[in-house]
Amino acid sequence: MEAVQILTNTFWSEHVWLPPNTTWADLAKNDVVRHTDYRDLIYPLPMALVILLVRYVFERFWFAPIGLSLGIKNCRQKKAPPNAILEKAYSAKGKIKHKQIKGLAKQLDWSERQVERWLRLRHSQDKPSTLTKFCENSWRCFYYFSAFHYGVFCLWDKAWLWDINECWNGYPHQSLSDDVWWYYMISLAFYWSLTVSQFTDVRRKDFWQMFVHHMAAISLLSFSWICNLTRIGTLVLLVHDVADILLEAAKMAKYSGYQRVCDIVFAVFTVTWIVTRLGVYPFWIIYSTTIEAPKFVAMFPAYYIFNSLLILLLLLHVIWTYLILKIVFNSLKAGQMEGDIRSSSCDDVSSEEKHGTSNGVQPKGRSVSPKIPVTE
């Protein structure tokens, strides 16, 4: 028990978490200033379960009917008949070469065409329907739209929205209002829910990048909460939500068959993304935390960790911006925005049969259409 107590005291050292000449007793509950309480960070965990339940209800009873009314297919792919030999070959997940197909055909006394068709059918079973992807994007669009507007409502009368130096004036004795408390708790709960649902949602190509993003967001919010840096934290949330609304809306338009709307919304998204993620975020927020903040607050170890997480998010933004601009360039050449870097439609089976592909293999001479990336 003594070792645990020593470890706890070391972890919660005032020299790490608080500015010089500040103690935990200074941040204790009082009638003058309402400081953040690290124990509140437990609330987003059960709240995340509630969000997952709400998401299930919305997707099933709201977004799915809307998608069906728009003509989006909820196709159920024809299942490949059970075959232990072919299942083992498919489960290897590697590129199945023609030589292997010939060997499997000989082993099963099948034609090569029969083996290729089985592999295509089996591959299609792992692909979600277009309606499933539409529902996922609808949920995220709904959340980001709601969170952004609540953030504007919450911060409109706050001094630090209009003068970012107010984030540091009087720190750390800055009182926490109820609306900011809810803004933080709901945001944390949402990112916890994304971390869980990511393992059951449509598997995306940038799975691990998004996992790092979610964990960085949770760490950033948690660190800023413990250190009572909620003012700058709310600005980070507000800046990040606006572009995501447009991205999810563009994908919804794509799945609904409104290609022109998708192109327009994606173009607006690209400009908004660059302005907010590579303009406002680094030159307003990070500039304030690294250049302006030391003029008001004596630096301490936890604050450097906080800044490191902000910069980590910026690096992720740079990577995603490269992907977005690459897609825009390819789309301009193709004449429209096509596909989705993190999904595949329920028409892919017929397309693969038409082009003679199997297990995700691309034949020579077939061009790859530009794809819309997904960022959080």
Tell me the pLDDT tens digit for each residue of 260-289.
Answer: 999 999 999 999 999 999 999 999 999 999
Q: What is the pLDDT of residue 93?
A: 60
CA angle 114, 120, 125 (to 5 degrees): 130
User: Does residue 171 have a pLDDT over 70?
Assistant: yes
Backbone angles phi, psi at 372, to 5 degrees: -85, 125
Q: What is the pLDDT of residue 105?
A: 82
Q: Quick one: average pLDDT of 306-311? A: 90
Rg for the chain, CA atoms, rounded: 25
Per-residue 3-state assignment (H helix, E strand, C coil) for the chain: CHHHHHHHHHHCCHHHHCCCCCCHHHHCCCCCCCCCCHHHHHCHHHHHHHHHHHHHHHHHHHHHHHHHHCCCCCCCCCCCCCCHHHHHHHHCCCCCCHHHHHHHHHHHCCCHHHHHHHHHHHHHHCCCCHHHHHHHHHHHHHHHHHHHHHHHHHHCCCHHHHCHHHHCCCCCCCCCCHHHHHHHHHHHHHHHHHHHHCCCCCCCCCHHHHHHHHHHHHHHHHHHHHCCCHHHHHHHHHHHHHHHHHHHHHHHHHHHCCHHHHHHHHHHHHHHHHHHHHHHHHHHHHHHHHHHHHHCCCCCHHHHHHHHHHHHHHHHHHHHHHHHHHHHHHHHHHCCCCCECCCCCCCHHHHHHHHCCCCCCCCCCCCCCCCECCCC
User: Does residue 74 have a pLDDT over 60?
Assistant: yes
Q: Buried (b) or exposed (e) across 230-269, using 16+ Cβ within 10 A?
A: bbbbbbbbbbbbbbbbbbbbbbbbbbbeeeeebbebbeeb
286/360: higher pLDDT: 286
Helices 130-155 and 178-197, axial angle in degrees (round to 10): 160
Q: What is the pLDDT of residue 361?
A: 38
Tokens of 62: 């709201």
User: Does residue 329 have a pLDDT over 80?
Assistant: yes
What residue spans define the domains of the chain? 34-70+146-334
CB 197 within 8 A of CB 52: yes
Q: Quick one: average pLDDT of 209-222? A: 86
357/371: higher pLDDT: 371
Q: Which amino acid is at 82?
A: P
Cα–Cα distances in angstroms (integers) from residue 339 to residues 69, 252, 265, 348, 374, in the given order: 21, 12, 15, 11, 12
Q: What is the pLDDT of residue 352?
A: 41
d(CA 240, CA 244): 7
Choose the weakest-confidence range: 8-12, 258-262, 302-306, 312-316: 8-12
Residue with tokens 């000449």: 21
Please state the pTM of the whole predicted model: 0.79
Instruction: Report residue 57's pLDDT band, with 50, 70 and 90 as the boundaries.
Output: very high
Q: What is the pLDDT of residue 27?
A: 85
Q: What is the pLDDT of residue 31?
A: 80
Backbone angles phi, psi at 74, to 5 degrees: -115, 55
Half-sphere exposure of 107 (CA within 13 A, CB side): 12
Q: What is the pLDDT of residue 25?
A: 87
Q: What percent of the chain has pLDDT over 90?
A: 50
Q: What is the pLDDT of residue 267?
A: 93
pLDDT, tens digit, 9 for 90 and up, residues 94-151: 678 888 888 888 888 888 888 888 777 777 766 778 898 899 999 999 999 999 999 9
pLDDT, tens digit, 9 for 90 and up, residues 43-52: 999 999 999 9
Q: Quick one: average pLDDT of 58-65? A: 95
- CA-wise closest residue to 140 among 35, 271, 67, 51: 51
Q: What is the pLDDT of residue 127?
A: 73
Q: What is the pLDDT of residue 363?
A: 37
pLDDT, tens digit, 9 for 90 and up, residues 227-236: 999 999 999 9
Residue-averaged pLDDT of the chain: 83
